[in-house]
Amino acid sequence: MAKIKPFKAIRPVRDKVHLVATRPYYSYKKNVLKAKLEDNPFSFLHIINPEFKSEVKTKPNSKERFQLVSDSYKKFISEGVLFQESEESFYVYRQTKIGFVYTGIIAGASVEEYNKDLIKKHEATLTSREAMFTDYLDIVGYNAEPVLLSYPHNESLTELLKKITSDRPEYEFSTTDGVKHELWVLNDFTTSNVQKAFEEIPCLYIADGHHRSSSSALLANKRKGNSEMSYKNQDYFLAYFIDEEDLNILEFNRLVKGLNGLSKVEFLDKVAPFFEITKLRKAEKPSKVHQMTVCVEGDWYLFDFQDKIIDENHPVNSLDPEILTRFVLSPILGIQDLKTDNRIEFISGAESIDKIDEQINKKKFDIGFVLYPVSMSQVKNVADNNMIMPPKSTWVEPKMRSGLTIYNINE
């Protein structure tokens, strides 16, 4: 069974929710972030960037900086921009974006189930980032952006969500990126029904937020046995639970600087033993798994993977991003570490394919690889076998807002 916990959300007052809730700060370009901070005093971005316009700066990711974030958060509460619910509840959140509708439940996810691998992972976490996020949570005392957790399709939950969302939402607003946001606050009876429905679900899968969930677990484990820092809420972390059939999994495409000393003809000769190569008239995306399109110095090609390079019996080695790394990026282009090599950059499938054309035509990169999206069944196969996906394998939507429902860890 999947344990989920109702909680007393700290959330924006209704007339300011559209001003407070925001995309994560790291998703904004510097000039856009600066403009938003200048024009909107109610944005949650001010909590995350407490030194905006301050002449004295603390060190990024330092405990001193995190304390300022905590102080800014408390100020938003004292000024009445944020308030806390009087009763524990679940929250149904629906996001509508360019033809996609995502509906799920915001609640607390169990640290115990995370530790027992009943919340399954498919991505490696960096120890340094885990330590930084753990310190951050310990000092600020809240989760503001939910981890994205998927569950196998459950008809009773689907019907329950349809009934809940037939009523008028507590929040309903649209953002400048064309996305509509709606939030429902559940009553006690409906909360009980949701918990019962989740008892039928054997396990959950992390779709997005591996570092946030691991850091929450580390904090709970760190505080265990310390009576002065023992809170019921710290045994859970903020999560958005969504039916796996409603996720939209997009690819992460690759751009590479240079051909490792090869000419275009030499490069194509090097990869020919592994792929059936067809010249294309224009830029296009691949149409099926084990197929990718490649732009080399402005010319587009279709690469069909040959059977000999596909290990369908191996959860990771059968993935297109891994095959690309093992047969092209590492041995031919000399890229050994996708996380650290500055010759490679990644573009999500949410971006237009024209961006790859544009970057190569501007001579910023020499070659681009457009992959077919990894499927949810492939993600689950990796997680079920306790394996790790290659870096930047998936771009998963929906992307959640920060500051819409805040989870108080110290309660």
Q: Mean pLDDT across the stretch 360-388?
A: 96
Quick check: 73 pLDDT over 90? yes
* Residue 189: band (very low, low, confident or very high) from pLDDT cuts 50, 70, 90: confident
Q: Are residues 162 and 222 in the same domain?
A: yes
- Within a 10 A sphere around the Cβ of 351, how many other Cβ atoms? 12
- Within a 10 A sphere around the Cβ of 8, how many other Cβ atoms? 15
Q: How high does pLDDT run on average in the chain? A: 94
Q: Are residues 67 and 47 in the same domain?
A: yes
Quick check: 191 pLDDT over 70? yes
What residue has token string 């329950």?
Answer: 160
Backbone angles phi, psi at 255, to 5 degrees: -120, 135
Question: What 3-state DSSP class applies to 30?
Answer: helix
What residue has token string 């000039």?
Answer: 31
Q: Are residues 267 and 242 in the same domain?
A: no
Q: Are residues 20 and 97 in the same domain?
A: yes
- Looking at residue 354, its pLDDT comes to 92
CA distance 264 to 298: 10
Q: Mean pLDDT across the stretch 164-191?
A: 94
Q: Are residues 71 and 124 in the same domain?
A: yes
Classify burial at 297, counting beta carbons within 10 Å of its beta carbon; exposed 0-12, middle 13-18, buried 19 or more: middle
- Looking at residue 227, its pLDDT comes to 65
Task: Report the range of poorest mean pLDDT among 12-21, 143-152, 321-330, 356-365.
Answer: 356-365
What residue has token string 């998927």?
Answer: 150
Quick check: 246 pLDDT over 70? yes
- Looking at residue 228, its pLDDT comes to 67
CA distance 364 to 345: 11
The domain that contains 362 carries what CATH number?
A: 3.30.1760.10
Domain containing 299 equals 251-395
Identify the DSSP state of 258.
S
Q: Mean pLDDT across the stretch 124-139?
A: 92
Q: Are residues 270 and 203 in the same domain?
A: no
| Token pair in block for residue 82 | 């944020």
Q: Are residues 234 and 270 in the same domain?
A: no
**pLDDT over 90, % of the chain:** 87
Q: Are residues 89 and 15 in the same domain?
A: yes
- Looking at residue 190, its pLDDT comes to 87
Structural domains of the chain, count = 2
Quick check: 230 pLDDT over 80? no
Q: Are residues 156 and 43 in the same domain?
A: yes
Classify burial at 60, counting beta carbons within 10 Å of its beta carbon; exposed 0-12, middle 13-18, buried 19 or more: exposed
- Looking at residue 5, its pLDDT comes to 95
Q: Are residues 170 and 22 in the same domain?
A: yes
Q: Are residues 213 and 320 in the same domain?
A: no
Quick check: 225 pLDDT over 80? no
* Residue 98: band (very low, low, confident or very high) from pLDDT cuts 50, 70, 90: confident
Q: Are residues 313 and 187 in the same domain?
A: no
Contacting residues for 162 by C-beta, under 8 A, at least 6 apart: none
| Token pair in block for residue 157 | 């939950």
Query: E strands, 75-208, where?
Result: 82-84, 91-97, 100-110, 119-120, 142-143, 147-151, 171-174, 180-185, 204-208
Q: Single out the residue of 108, 140, 406, 134 nearest to residue 232, CA to CA.
A: 108
Q: Mean pLDDT across the stretch 18-40?
A: 92
